[in-house]
Structures are given as C-alpha cells and as structure tokens.
Amino acid sequence: MRRTQDMLEYAMRALFAAFFALAVLAACSPGEGNNPLPATHIVIDTAKGPAVFMVEMANDDAARKKGLMYRQQLAADAGMLFDFHSEDYRSFWMKNTPLPLDMLFIRADGTISTVAPEAVPYSLEPVSSSEPVRAVLEINGGRAAALGIVPGGKVHAAIFGNGP
C-alpha cells in the first residue's frame, strides 16, 4: 500500500512539474502577432544634415497589414519601413493607429517621392503615393517638417542598395 502511495505521489509531482514547465515556456514564448520585427538603422539626408532612425522592417504581408496599429508611443527617431520588394502605387490608412504619422513614399533608389505629413489617427481615408514606390516609411507626425525631410531627399537603407 505504501509503495502505491509513493508511486502516486511521484506521478503527481511529475505531472505538476510538466504543467509548470509548459506554463513557463508559454510565458516566455512570444504570442501570436507579438514576434518582434527585424530592425535596422537608416539615414535620411535632410536640410539639417543626416537624420538617423532605428526602424522596424515590415517585409511581409502580415507585418505590413498590422504596421503601427495600436501603438501608443513611438520614439522620436524610430519608425517602420514597409518594404514591398517592387515598385507600385501604394495606399495606407490609419485604422486602429492612435499616433499621428508622417508617411514618406520612397522610390526603389531611395529617393523620397512624396511626404504625407500628419496622417490623422484612426482615419479610414487613404493616404496614397503619387507614383509607383518600393517602400513607405512611417515616422512620428511632424518629424519630417521638423527635420527638413522633403521630396527629392535620399533614404539610405540596405533595401535601396545604399545602406549606411
């Protein structure tokens, strides 16, 4: 009888340890949609000199679809670079995005085509490129004007073959 109790107690401890290990693994693993995006430094030529940004790279459909939605804050020199891998007309909206953003539409050679300043938070109105572009950079609203980022400026990043 004692041996059966010992075996049962051992089995219960083993089961508890297994559940505990699974709980720890689940807590440490990123949840769905929480996988961090790759990040890189980019440099933008501005009227005030080079501006360095640390940007998250939205390289696939899932990352591009989510973008900066739900973000409550964005560091002054941070942003998200949406790489579409080919040139085409691009259109964005601000659904579920609480931050005002500047959108820089960028040609395949890294030249800024257009700047759409201060996109309105939560707006469903499209913000579109005026020509085919490869990428779009989103930064805090007002940063482009504050730094002197204008069409014709250059964005230096690996995806444009001119990275810093």
- Let me know whether 106 and 44 are in one domain: yes
Q: Which domain holds residue 14?
A: 1-30
- Let me know whether 23 and 87 are in one domain: no
The tally of domains found in the chain comes to 2
Cut 0.85: pTM above it: no
pLDDT at position 20 over 70: no
Distances (CA, A) of 58 to 12, 49, 122: 46, 26, 20
Pick from 98, 94, 102, 82: nearest CA to 144: 102
pLDDT at position 29 over 60: no
Separation CA 163–CA 158 (nearest Å): 4
Residue 108's pLDDT is what? 98
List phi, psi (to 5°) of 54: -100, 115
- Let me know whether 139 and 58 are in one domain: yes
- Let me know whether 8 and 58 are in one domain: no
Residue 23's pLDDT is what? 35
Pick from 103, 105, 68: nearest CA to 87: 105
pLDDT at position 28 over 80: no
- Let me know whether 26 and 68 are in one domain: no
- Let me know whether 23 and 46 are in one domain: no
pLDDT band at 24 (very low <50, low <70, confident <90, very high): very low
Residue 114's pLDDT is what? 97
Mean pLDDT of 46-55: 95
Separation CA 149–CA 41 (nearest Å): 17
Query: Percentage of residues in the chain with pLDDT exceeding 90?
Result: 75
> What does the block give as tokens for 125?
């109105």
Q: Check if the beta carbon of residue 107 is closer than 8 Å to that of residue 83.
A: no
Segments of the chain assigned E as strands = 39-44, 51-58, 78-88, 91-92, 101-106, 112-119, 127-128, 133-140, 155-156
- Let me know whether 20 and 62 are in one domain: no
pLDDT band at 25 (very low <50, low <70, confident <90, very high): very low
Specify the CATH number for the domain of residue 90.
2.60.120.1140
- Let me know whether 120 and 51 are in one domain: yes
pLDDT at position 69 over 70: yes
148 DSSP 8-state letter: T
pLDDT at position 22 over 80: no
